[in-house]
Amino acid sequence: METTLLLVKPDGVQRGLVGEILGRVERRGLRLAALKLMHVPRTLAEQHYAIHKGKPFYNGLIDYIVSAPVVAMAWSGNKAVEAVRQVLGATNPTQAAPGTVRADFAIDIGRNLTHGSDSAENGAAEVALWFAKSELQDWKSASAAWVFE
């Protein structure tokens, strides 16, 4: 069982796409473990995007992510990281497969609506960064037997 972080970035929140994105992941069969609407503190943004520090787009990315509310979600399930990334599509919306969130609703890589963890280990680390353990809910879905073998 994996846990992964999904952020609906400021552009997705401002454009009213939170429900659409949440629904697509939920219908995929994953279980929502936590959700919150928040203004991202600069320190959290810098921790989350530390891998990009020193890159030309880093300062703009930090300024952008703290500019307006985001919706942070933790999802769990079998192959949760891969499933969320398939729903979201490629980071660059112009390269995203048709039917994915980014292909359907985004054009520019700098306004690609979402962030999804890129590996199981990063998913666990990112969820721990964005959510306190007490915020995560462990519950059983009645439909799980109809989704997973």
pLDDT at 144 exceeding the cut of 90: no
Dist. CA 74–CA 3, nearest whole Å: 7
36-45, 100-109, 138-147: least confidently modelled range: 138-147
Torsion of CA 62, 64, 67, 72, to 10 degrees: -80
Percent of the chain residues past pLDDT 70, beyond the cut: 100
Domains (range + CATH), the chain:
2-131 (3.30.70.141)
Dist. CA 23–CA 78, nearest whole Å: 18
Q: Which residues are catalytic?
A: 115
Per the DSSP assignment, residues forming a β-bridge with 73 are 6, 35
The amino acid at 138 = D
The amino acid at 144 = A
Dist. CA 83–CA 64, nearest whole Å: 26
